[in-house]
Structure 1
C-alpha cells in the first residue's frame, strides 16, 4: 500500500508540473510536504531548469531546491511569483485548505499569495471535502508569544478548542516558528465550506494573530494522487 501511495504522489506531482509549468514561467514557489518532494524532482529533471528561480516556503523546501540543483531565490528579491506548488494538510470541495502542520504557514501563505497561479498537490487522504473532517489536529494559528493567552481565550469564545503546540519531545516549551512566534492549534470540528472565509476573518481580526493556516480561495487547481495510482484534478 505504501508503494502505491508513493507512486500516486509521484504521478500527481509530475502531472501538476507537466500540465502547468509554462515556457514564460521563471519564478517558481516550492512548498513542503511528502508530495512536493516529487515536484522539485520533476523540475530538476527538466532540461531548462537553469532558467528557473525557486522560492522556498521553509527549511525543507529550501533543501529540496538545493538537492535538485535548482536556483534558489527569496521573496525579498522576487515578490512576484509566476507559479507555486505546495501540499496541504486537508482540502475541501472549494479547494480551501488547512496548512501549517509543519509550522511554516506564514511563509507558505506569503508564497501562495505572491503567485499568479497556486497549485496544490496531495494524496487522496487529504481531500475530504470538508475541513476538519480528516485533519483532527485543528487549524494552525501563528501568534506573537506574549498574546497567546489572550488568543486562547478569544478562540474559545468563538467555539474553538485551542491549545499551544508543544515542542516536545525535542524541545521543552512551545514550538517556535522560523519567525520567532508560537503556534496555536484550534479545533473547530468540521468547518462547512460556506463558513471557512468568515472563520478565517474572525481569527485574523484578533490582535496578536500573525497568520492562520486557513488558505481561503487561494488555489486554482489541485492534483490528488489516489491510492490506486490514478490522479484526480480539481479546478475552481
Structure 2
C-alpha cells in the first residue's frame, strides 16, 4: 500500500527527534558525571592537604561534602588518625555517623582546627554564596569557629563576580513572622527581589534546621558585599545571610580536565 505523501517524512522526522533527544540525554549524563568527578577531586585534595592527626574538623553540607567525608573516613582507617568531627547540619551529622567517625559539637569543641565546606558560588576574592541547601546559619557558625576555612567545589561554581553562575540569589534565613517586612526592606534598600523559598515535595515554605524560613534575594547588580552583608543582618528578624565575606582561606576547584586548581584569599 502506498503511503500518503509526507507520511514517510513524518516518520523520519520523529526518528531524528528521538535521536536528538537521546544525544542530549547522553550529553547531560556525561556532563553530570564530569561534575561529580570534579567534586570528588576537589574534596580529596582539601582533605589530603588540610586534615592532620589529632584535629577537630568542621564538616559542611551539600553534595560535594559527601566526597570529603568519604576521603576523611578512608584516611582515618588507613592512617589510624584521631579525628573529631563537628557537623553543620543534620545531613552532615548523619554522614559522620554513617562513616563511623567521631561526632562532637561546639559545646565540647568550640574551637576547630579546620572546616571544610562547599559553596554555591565563589568569586575572585573568595566571597561565597552559600545556603542553596538551607544550612547557611550553622555552616557560618562552624566556619567562624575554625582556624582555617577551606572551600571545595566543581568548576561550575567558580565566578569572577557573584551572580555570574549562581542565578538563584543570596539565601537569607529569617524568623518566620518577619519574612514579609524583611523581603520588602531588602528590595527597597538594595534592589531586586527577595522571595520566600517554597518546598518541593511538600506544601508550604522550606523550614531550616533552626525552624526558620529562607528568603532568596535575587540582586540586580554587584554590590559591596561586606557592607551589604552587615546591613542585611541588622534588619530585625534576619538570622543570617548566605554571604560569606572574608571567611574562606582557600578554595579548591575540580576541573573538567581532571585537574584540581586552588585559589587563596587576597591578603588584606
Superposition TM-score tier, normalisation by shorter sequence:
over 0.9
Look at both structures and tell me which one has the larger radius of gyration over its CA atoms.
2
Higher relative contact order (CA 8 A, sep 6+): 1
Match of 2:57 in 1: 28
**TM-score (structure 2 length as normaliser):** 0.83
- Residue of structure 2 equivalent to 1:160: 192
Conserved? CA contact 1:32–1:57, under 8 Å: yes
2:122 to 79, 83, 91: 91
**Cα offsets for 1:62-117 (capped at 9, x unmatched):** 12211221111112221111100000001100111000011110100000000000
CA distance in 1, matches of 2:252, 2:117: 10
- 1:132 is displaced (CA, Å) by 1.2
Q: 1: distance between equivalents of 2:172 and 2:95?
A: 25
- Give the unaligned 5+ runs of structure 2: 1-29
CA distance in 2, matches of 1:112, 1:49: 26
Give the length in aligned residue pairs: 232
Q: Distance in 2 between matches of 1:45 and 1:22?
A: 13
- CA RMSD across the alignment: 1.4
| Distance 1:84-1:50 versus aligned 2 partners, 3 A rule | same
Matched, 1:209 2:241: no
Question: What is the TM-score when the length of structure 1 is the normalising length?
Answer: 0.94
Pairing 1:187–2:221 present: no
Higher mean displacement: 173-182 or 216-225: 173-182
- 1:3-62 Cα distance to aligned partner (Å, 9 max, x none): 332222212211111111234x52100111222111111110113455111011112211
* Deviation readout 1:121-145 (Å, 9 max, x if unpaired): 0001001121111111111001111
- Which of these residues, 100, 117, 123, is aligned with residue 131 of structure 2? 100
Tell me, yes or no, if the aligned pair for 1:84 and 1:119 is still in contact at 8 Å.
Answer: yes
More helix by share: 2
